[in-house]
């Protein structure tokens, strides 16, 4: 992502802020996995969106109209000793030279410097609750200023949620963001194709996970956007299954929900296919329903439709499909009204997608589903899940868990499926797994 992109975002945010205000945003903290071992660091998406800065121990402050510079970055001082152990970090010079900061101070001096930046301001844009330790520090700085009220110090009287402004910006993807998202989706699609080709009975689920990770990294995506779900048979009916430990069985389906993260942008793809390369009659019957539901939902992604239209389309097809195979009985309208499909399809049809896999942005405005607009990206991911615990359902349907998920951009004309590079039609999947098709 180029520097202008971050500059443009900060400018947009500062234009939305009221006069006499300041915005404060801390970087994500480093987290400990276990004694002396840290989790791989991932910057907070809001912070990265505005700064492009991926170090921890940093705070950005934006003060529209400040004479000495509007964009301030507190970060670690350059320290040759530490650089020897952990590699170099930007320091104050780097923050200005490479990250476009107008002004940069050592993070260790923030207690002395930041309260002065609040002085004389009316309003602070800050998101409470994300970083409880930092919340306390900020309240401490404001209280310190309040104590000086008699000396004529003007303290901000109002705290306003920063994420409200920021998340509305993040919801609409720029051409640069879409470039990264298209690439992330392409990489993931290719990895899913590899997983289909490598799958066979007797492998452990994590061996297929390894194929996905290998493919992501070989293609330049170092991280996943979320923990991969690789669930065979009954495990495909567990929505958040990430154990990925079991042996894949001949005759079962395999559900893979996995996506690469590229340049801090997520992809999120699910495919379901037979471990042995051939769908059984029951698997195929349910799969065709989910696929029809997914295609109908994707068709409903277009400007002017509202957020819930794709979900409604999917629910209708799934309900009618479950009726057609005898798993539901009655009128489709009544079955939808009574939510009779819910034991089979219990989740929603999608979510916003962006820097976070479950990305930010309101789904309703004034209590009404919001309209889809060009530049928004969402997933479309209906499913049918029949665990063995559904004792009223004939056992031939048991342990079939199916979800099909694609990443879809709303365009002026309708939509663009970003993750189209991995097949989802039954014959295409079977051909790919049989080595008869290239992907
Ligand atoms: N992979 C998370 C989701 O599909 O929502
Ligand atoms: Mn997913
Ligand atoms: Mn998803």
Task: Give residue limits of the domains in the chain.
Answer: 3-170, 172-433
The ligand 1 atom nearest the CA atom of 351 = 5
Pocket test for ligand 1, best of 242, 348, 405 (most atoms within 8 A of CB): 405
| pLDDT of amino acid 146 | 86
Residues in the chain predicted with pLDDT less than 50, given as ranges, are: none
Contacts of 185 (CB under 8 A, 6+ apart): 259, 267, 269, 407, 418, 419, 421
The ligand 1 atom nearest the CA atom of 403 = 4
Å from CA of 259 to ligand 1 middle: 9
Question: Could you read off the pLDDT of 317-344 as tens digits, one per residue?
Answer: 999 999 999 999 999 999 999 999 999 9
Question: Could you read off the pLDDT of 150-204 as tens digits, one per residue?
Answer: 788 788 888 999 999 999 999 999 999 999 999 999 999 999 999 999 999 999 9
Phi-psi region of 366 (alpha: psi -120 to 50; beta: other; left: phi over 0): left
The ligand 1 atom nearest the CA atom of 258 = 1
Q: Is the CB of 185 under 6 A from ligand 1?
A: no
Instruction: Give the Cα separation of 234 and 151 in Å (integer).
Output: 69
Instruction: Give the Cα separation of 408 and 111 in Å (integer).
Output: 45
| pLDDT of amino acid 91 | 95
- First CA to last CA distance, the chain: 28
Name the residues annotated as catalytic.
Answer: 36, 240, 257, 268, 347, 351, 358, 381, 385, 403, 405
Task: Identify the H or E element spanning 4.
Answer: helix 3-16
Ion ligand 3 contact residues with beta carbon within 5 A:
268, 379
Question: Is it true that 3-170 and 172-433 share their CATH fold?
Answer: no
Q: What is the DSSP string of 253-284?
A: EEEEEE-EEETTEE--EEEEEETTS---HHHH
Contact criterion met (CB below 8 Å) for 72 and 101: yes
| pLDDT of amino acid 438 | 60
Å from CA of 385 to ligand 2 middle: 15
Would you state the torsion angle of the CA atoms of residues 359, 365, 368, 369, taken in this order, to the nearest 10 degrees?
Answer: -30
32: which strand partners?
Answer: 38
| pLDDT of amino acid 147 | 85
Closest CA to 380 of 407, 411, 400: 407
Q: 172-433 adopts what CATH topology? A: Creatine Amidinohydrolase (3.90.230)
Instruction: Give the Cα separation of 173 and 2 in Å (integer).
Output: 15
Contacts of 142 (CB under 8 A, 6+ apart): 115, 118, 124, 155, 156
Å from CA of 403 to ligand 1 middle: 10
SS3 content of the chain, % helix, strand, coil (to 5): 40, 20, 40
Q: Is the CB of 257 under 6 A from ligand 1?
A: yes
CATH homologous superfamily, domain 3-170: Creatinase/prolidase N-terminal domain (3.40.350.10)
Query: How many other C-beta atoms can be found within 10 angstroms of the C-beta atom of residue 373?
Result: 12
Instruction: Give the Cα separation of 265 and 262 in Å (integer).
Output: 5
Q: Is the CB of 381 under 6 A from ligand 1?
A: yes
| pLDDT of amino acid 439 | 59
Å from CA of 260 to ligand 1 middle: 12
Instruction: Give the Cα separation of 410 and 350 in Å (integer).
Output: 13
The ligand with the least distance to the CA atom of 272 is 2
Pocket test for ligand 1, best of 236, 351, 359, 402 (most atoms within 8 A of CB): 351
Å from CA of 357 to ligand 1 middle: 7
Q: Among positive and negative, which fits the CA dihedral 259, 375, 177, 14? A: negative
- Strand, helix or coil for residue 106: strand
Instruction: Give the Cα separation of 74 and 58 in Å (integer).
Output: 5
Q: Which two tokens stand for residue 356?
A: 């976070």
Would you state the torsion angle of the CA atoms of residues 404, 407, 410, 414, taken in this order, to the nearest 10 degrees?
Answer: -40
């Amino acid at each position: 992502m180029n520097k202008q992109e971050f500059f443009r975002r900060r400018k947009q945010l500062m234009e939305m802020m009221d006069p006499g205000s300041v915005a404060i945003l801390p970087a994500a903290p480093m987290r400990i996995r276990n004694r002396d071992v840290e989790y791989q660091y991932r910057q907070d998406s809001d912070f990265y969106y505005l700064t492009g800065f991926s170090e921890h121990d940093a705070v950005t402050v934006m003060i529209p109209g400040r004479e000495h510079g509007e964009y301030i970055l507190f970060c670690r001082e350059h320290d040759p000793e530490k650089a020897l152990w952990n590699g170099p970090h930007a320091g104050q010079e780097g923050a200005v030279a490479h990250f476009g900061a107008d002004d940069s101070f050592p993070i260790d001096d923030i207690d002395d410097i930041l309260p002065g930046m609040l002085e004389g301001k009316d309003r602070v844009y800050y998101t409470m609750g994300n970083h409880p330790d930092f919340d306390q520090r900020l309240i401490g700085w404001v209280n310190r200023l309040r104590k000086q009220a008699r000396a004529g110090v003007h303290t901000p009287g109002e705290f306003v949620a920063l994420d409200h402004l920021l998340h509305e910006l993040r919801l609409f993807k720029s051409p640069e963001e879409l470039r990264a998202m298209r690439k992330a989706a392409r990489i993931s699609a290719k990895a899913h194709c590899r997983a289909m080709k490598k799958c066979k009975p007797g492998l452990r689920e994590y061996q297929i996970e390894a194929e996905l990770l290998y493919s992501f990294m070989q293609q330049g995506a170092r991280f996943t956007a979320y923990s991969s779900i690789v669930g065979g048979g009954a495990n495909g009916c567990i929505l958040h299954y990430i154990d990925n430990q079991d042996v894949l069985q001949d005759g079962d389906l395999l559900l893979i929900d996995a996506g690469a993260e590229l340049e801090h942008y997520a992809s999120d793809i699910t495919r379901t296919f037979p471990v042995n390369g051939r769908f059984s009659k029951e698997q195929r019957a349910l799969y065709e329903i989910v696929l029809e539901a997914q295609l109908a939902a994707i068709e409903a992604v277009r400007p002017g439709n509202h957020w819930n239209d794709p979900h409604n389309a999917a629910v209708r097809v799934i309900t009618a499909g479950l009726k057609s195979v005898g798993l539901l009985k009655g009128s489709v309208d009544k079955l939808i009204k009574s939510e009779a499909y819910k034991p089979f399809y219990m989740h929603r049809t999608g979510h916003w997608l962006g820097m976070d896999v479950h990305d930010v942005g309101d789904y309703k405005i004034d209590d009404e589903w919001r309209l889809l607009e060009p530049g928004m990206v969402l997933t479309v991911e209906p499913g049918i899940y029949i665990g063995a615990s559904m004792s009223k359902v004939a056992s031939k349907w048991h342990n079939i868990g199916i979800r099909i998920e694609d990443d879809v951009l709303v365009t002026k004309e309708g939509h663009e499926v970003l993750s189209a590079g991995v097949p989802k039609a039954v014959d295409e999947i079977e051909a790919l797994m049989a080595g008869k098709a290239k992907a």
